[in-house]
Amino acid sequence: MVIPIRAFALGKERLADELDVSERAALGRRLATQVVAAASGFETLVVSSDSDVRTWAHESGVAAIDDPGSLDAAAREGRAWLAARGAVRCVIAHADLPFAESFSAVARDASLPVVAIVPCHRDDGTPVLSVPVGVEFEFSYGSGSFRRHAAEARRLGLALRVVRDPDLRFDVDLPDDLAALSRLVG
């Protein structure tokens, strides 16, 4: 399990009109804690160069390596880290999934030549992606990543499994997401 986290204090900049820096940092930490809890049972790695995130990862009992500078590169480094430890599958999960309970549904393919993708609730991004570690899958995060990741699986001749798990597809990126989260949790 690979969880890239740029920084708590600087994260969620698109929510700056709704939350100040300390509120965004607290939200980022809460969401990341939820994701790490959902990853229990999996070897988990946080990819971040932020000292607060790395301290939090250590305190959470999770390994951490430096962020190479982009989400795509963080996914590649995380995959390599897991492969070096004998893993056969790499699940990359964003750290902003408030309802994450388990990643078993996307990890179940083990070493099979299957890419499992959880599209975000807008069917645009990729909050969770699961790939076999032995394949040089080219990560392509950002707007429209769901379709690019699906195309990459097809290009490599891998089976594609789209997982529309409501607990894994809701991520908090935009003010509308924050408002929906507030409504959903009370």
pLDDT band for position 89 (50/70/90)? very high
Instruction: Report the predicted TM-score, pTM, of the whole model to 2 decimal places.
Output: 0.93
Cα-flanking dihedrals φ and ψ of residue 123, to 5°?
55, 40
Are β-strands 2-4 and 45-47 bridged in parallel, bridged antiparallel, or unpaired?
parallel
Length of the chain: 186
Instruction: Give the separation between CA 92 and CA 137, rounded to whole angstroms.
Output: 12
- Mean pLDDT across 30-57: 96
According to the CATH classification, is domain 2-185 in 3.90.550.10?
Answer: yes
pLDDT band for position 179 (50/70/90)? confident
CB atoms within 10 A of CB 184: 10
Structure tokens belonging to residue 151: 């195309």
Greater pLDDT, 82 or 20: 82
Structure tokens belonging to residue 44: 């988990």
pLDDT band for position 12 (50/70/90)? low
Instruction: Give the separation between CA 77 and CA 164, rounded to whole angstroms.
Output: 26
Cα-flanking dihedrals φ and ψ of residue 83, to 5°?
-60, -40
Each domain of the chain, given as residue ranges in start order, spans 2-185
Cα-flanking dihedrals φ and ψ of residue 184, to 5°?
-70, -35
Cα–Cα distances (Å) from 43 to 103, 144, 158, 167, in that order, read 12, 29, 24, 21
Instruction: Give the separation between CA 81 and CA 85, rounded to whole angstroms.
Output: 7
pLDDT in tens, 145-173: 999 999 999 999 999 999 999 999 999 87
Instruction: Give the separation between CA 70 and CA 72, rounded to whole angstroms.
Output: 5
Structure tokens belonging to residue 77: 């480094």
As a whole-number percent, the residues of the chain with pLDDT over 70 amount to: 96
Closest CA to 44 of 99, 88, 83, 82: 82
- Mean pLDDT across 88-116: 97
